[in-house]
Amino acid sequence: MSLKETPIIIPQSMRAWVLFGPDDVRLVSKPVPRPGPAEVLVRIGAAAICGTDLEVLRHGRPGSIDGELPFGRGHVIGHEYAGTIAAVGPDVDEVQVGARVAVEIHAGCGRCQRCREGMYTSCLNYGSRRKGHCANGFTTDGGFAEYAVNHINTVYPIPDAMPFEEATLAVTAGTALYGLDVLGGLVAGATLLVIGPGPIGLMAVACGHALGAEVILAGTRPRRLELGRALGARHAVAVREQSLPAEVERITDGAGVDLVMECSGAPTALHEAVHAVKRGGRVCLAAFPHEAVLFDAAHVARNNIYLYGIRGEGNRAVGRAVALMAQGKISGAPLITHRLSLDALPVALETAEKRIGDAVKVVVVP
Ligand SMILES: [Zn+2]
Ligand SMILES: [Zn+2]
């Protein structure tokens, strides 16, 4: 039987976690949405929790609907999910019903300068539904539900053998790869320092290693550093006990690293990053420090160091992440520490936030 002939029965209503107010998310019954032109309906197989979900839940941003905070608008949260195509909109032939897919968050608006340049995570019409902007879980309905509608540009087929829970890591790996893209993409043979072994940092380790870099991982938690070693870091620096600049100097014989991915958001990380990189090196900032940070700008100018910022995944990097996952070159599986049911989302959020039981990635399954 071909995929098209596989019948998928779609119910009238579904369970979904809707954001009512700050820190107020409730499980409700909602009609199953219908895909419009250039859209598909995804039956969700698994959805992972990310730090940004907690930001949206507490503060609303980066969630935004037509310029306002997303509270009380019937908005479904959750942005890292995977599932099966259950229905397609009119004239959609890019994917078939029954295909298993990973998704990315941002479709963008598709009409602004940045979207047209592949920088759809930095869409100039961010949050404007009127202009067709979509970022599921942030500005349009997301994945803590049984079904979600996705723009066709945000779905990537995955192999049958890849579990949905692992495919939820495609966005995380895609963000790490997008960072390596903006650093110039010349990774093989380079020394890459990753600061911060959170999920994005750990996937930056895995991607850097898969692409041929010699990876140094810096962080505070021994378990995370161990996980980083298992994912391909050749060196791990425990920054509470060791001086990062001294260790980088020792490991690189005084040369410094070629590339840095700053994934910690720690107040001193940028300053350390610019001193760890060699002259003419490149630093990508992938985390969001809560306060303004101090760093040695004269050192950056004097040494022709390049600084880049990224906002999430972009430039179809999620598709490249899925390819590396499908080829077995990277795997999200080691990051998944907890599995709960969709109904237990509040417990799952708490487990992720408080890192209960050394949680790295917590996944909910409808
Ligand atoms: Zn996320
Ligand atoms: Zn746009």
Alpha carbon of 138 to ligand 2 centroid (Å): 15
Residue 1, pLDDT above cutoff 50: no
Ligand nearest to the CA of 78: 1
**Based on the structure, what is the number of domains in the chain?**
2
The DSSP code sequence of 292-311 is -----HHHHHHTT-EEEE--
Q: What is the mean pLDDT of residues 95-116?
A: 97
Q: What rounded mean pLDDT belongs to the chain?
A: 96
Question: 326: pLDDT confidence band, cut at 50, 70 and 90?
Answer: very high
pLDDT of residue 79: 98
Q: What is the mean pLDDT of residues 270-282?
A: 97
Residue 314: inside a domain: no
pLDDT of residue 156: 98
Ligand nearest to the CA of 120: 2
Alpha carbon of 292 to ligand 1 centroid (Å): 22
Alpha carbon of 5 to ligand 2 centroid (Å): 36
Residue 155: inside a domain: yes
Ligand nearest to the CA of 134: 2
**165 and 47, same domain (yes or no):** yes
Residue 81 and residue 148 in contact, taking contact as beta carbons nearer than 8 Å: yes
Ligand nearest to the CA of 174: 1
For residue 233, give every residue at least 6 positions away whose Cβ sits within 8 Å of its Cβ, in sequence order, or none: 194, 205, 209, 215, 216, 217, 225
Question: 5: pLDDT confidence band, cut at 50, 70 and 90?
Answer: low
pLDDT of residue 8: 78
Residue 4, pLDDT above cutoff 90: no
From the list 167, 179, 189, the residue with the least C-alpha distance to 330 is 167
From the list 363, 352, 364, 359, the residue with the least C-alpha distance to 52 is 352
Ligand nearest to the CA of 137: 1
Alpha helices by DSSP H, listed for 194-316, are: 199-210, 222-230, 244-251, 269-276, 297-302
Residue 99, pLDDT above cutoff 80: yes
* Percentage, residues of the chain above pLDDT 90: 96
Q: What is the mean pLDDT of residues 117-138?
A: 95
Ligand nearest to the CA of 288: 1
Residue 161 and residue 175 in contact, taking contact as beta carbons nearer than 8 Å: no
**14 and 143, same domain (yes or no):** yes
Name residue, tokens 């290693």. Answer: 209
Alpha carbon of 237 to ligand 2 centroid (Å): 39
The DSSP letter of residue 242 is S
Q: What confidence tens digit (pLDDT) does each residue in 41-73 have? A: 999 999 999 999 999 999 999 999 999 999 999
How far apart, in whole angstroms, are the C-alpha atoms of residue 179 and residue 187? 11
Alpha carbon of 80 to ligand 1 centroid (Å): 6
**7 and 152, same domain (yes or no):** yes
Ligand nearest to the CA of 107: 2
Residue 350, pLDDT above cutoff 90: yes
**12 and 156, same domain (yes or no):** yes
Ligand nearest to the CA of 118: 2
Residue 327: inside a domain: no
In the structure, ligand 1 is a single-atom ion and the residues with CB under 5 Å from it are 50, 52
From the list 13, 8, 20, the residue with the least C-alpha distance to 147 is 13
Alpha carbon of 6 to ligand 1 centroid (Å): 32
Question: 7: pLDDT confidence band, cut at 50, 70 and 90?
Answer: low
Residue 41: inside a domain: yes
Residue 278: inside a domain: yes
Q: What confidence tens digit (pLDDT) does each residue in 283-310 have? A: 999 999 989 999 999 999 999 999 999 9
**18 and 162, same domain (yes or no):** yes
Alpha carbon of 302 to ligand 1 centroid (Å): 35
From the list 342, 353, 300, the residue with the least C-alpha distance to 77 is 342
Q: What is the mean pLDDT of residues 200-209?
A: 98
Residue span of the structural domain in which 114 resides? 3-169+332-365
For residue 74, give every residue at least 6 positions away whose Cβ sits within 8 Å of its Cβ, in sequence order, or none: 18, 30
Ligand nearest to the CA of 105: 1
For residue 9, give every residue at least 6 positions away whose Cβ sits within 8 Å of its Cβ, in sequence order, or none: none
Name residue, tokens 């941002």. Answer: 106
29: domain CATH number is 3.90.180.10
For residue 197, give every residue at least 6 positions away whose Cβ sits within 8 Å of its Cβ, in sequence order, or none: 205, 217, 219, 221, 224, 225, 227, 228, 263
